[in-house]
Amino acid sequence: MSAPRDQHFLVDHWAVEKIAGFVEVSGRRVLEIGPGEGILTRALLDRGATVIAVEIDPALVEELEIAFADEIDEGRLEIVPGDAKKVDIPPFDIVVANLPYSVSSQLTFRLLAIGFEVAVLMYQKEFAQRMIAPPGTSNVGRLSVMVQTYASVKPLLDLSPTSFRPRPQVRSWVVRITPRDPPYPIADRQVYADVVRVLFSHRRKTIRKGLRSGKDTFSPGSIERAIAELPDDLLQRRPEDLALEEFALIANRLAGC
């Protein structure tokens, strides 16, 4: 069984130093989601970062406020109590965090929407593998397409359960996410996100049938117009076989471009 609120704390000091050192944080505003008992927070502060730490557990917030009273007084640490999925987050440059795994997807999408220079994030290994899955492989899905459209992702570290207390049942990967402009023009980002969502919620269907299943999202007229304009060989394939460029092509046709 997993710990409540994904509270698997890092106890491997070698791993903590590696994670804090993957990007230069000195003088930068670093967002940490889920500081827990503060082991990574301490490493980031020691490297000269100003840390904004968002923690959902009120008991941990209280412990952190006592343990880091000096850093808070000096303005080097701001603790934001609340749920990182929805709480207002003060401005930041970089993200470094051992994320709560059960909300990895929602937090990743939220961070990409807010924007950042670079993020070093820990995920469950299988989740990270889905993020980097190339087109045509079984792991590819909404997550991989959306993340790869707006960022490049590089695995940095593979950690075993022994790095944590209590030990999780899964391995963990630390990855670097660097946002970038989409490699292909996207006329309307909301339409693009909707296309990717609709097609992967019918992932066994061909693109033609998947689009026609999206009548709650797109008007029947715009779906038929897009189908008439798209190449037949694309309409016969399945979403997991499409390149990013082809999702952009479909979305641009639906957006009327």
Ligand X SMILES: C[S@@+](CC[C@H](N)C(=O)[O-])C[C@H]1O[C@@H](n2cnc3c(N)ncnc32)[C@H](O)[C@@H]1O
Cβ-count burial 201-210 (b if 16+ within 10 Å, e if not): ebeeebbbeb
Q: Which is nearer to ligand X, 54 or 132 (CB)?
A: 54
Q: Which residues contact 65 (CB under 8 A, 6 or more apart)?
A: 72, 79
* Contact call for residues 45 and 21 (beta carbons, < 8 A): no
Window 27 to 56, contacts with ligand X (CB under 6 A): 33-37, 39-40, 54-56
Q: Which is nearer to ligand X, 96 or 147 (CB)?
A: 96
Separation CA 49–CA 41 (nearest Å): 9
According to the annotation, is 139 in a ligand binding site?
no
Only one of the segments 77-85, 112-120, 200-208, 214-222 lies at the binding site for ligand X (rule: CB under 6 A); that segment is 77-85
Q: Whole-number minimum distance, CB 76 to ligand X, in Å? A: 17
Separation CA 44–CA 100 (nearest Å): 18
Separation CA 123–CA 147 (nearest Å): 14
Residue 57 engages ligand X in binding (rule: CB under 6 A) = yes
Per-residue tokens: 90: 């003060």
Q: Are strands 172-179 and 164-165 parallel, antiparallel or unpaired?
A: unpaired
Binding residue (CB under 6 A) for ligand X from 52, 77, 96, 100:
100
Q: Which is nearer to ligand X, 6 or 246 (CB)?
A: 6
Binding mask 101-140 for ligand X (x = CB under 6 A): --x-------------------------------------
Which is nearest to 125 in space by CA: 93, 171, 157, 175? 171
Residue 12 engages ligand X in binding (rule: CB under 6 A) = no
Binding residue (CB under 6 A) for ligand X from 10, 79, 186, 248:
10
Q: What is the DSSP letter of 134?
A: P
According to the annotation, is 83 in a ligand binding site?
yes
According to the annotation, is 55 in a ligand binding site?
yes
Annotated binding site: 8, 10, 34, 55, 83, 98
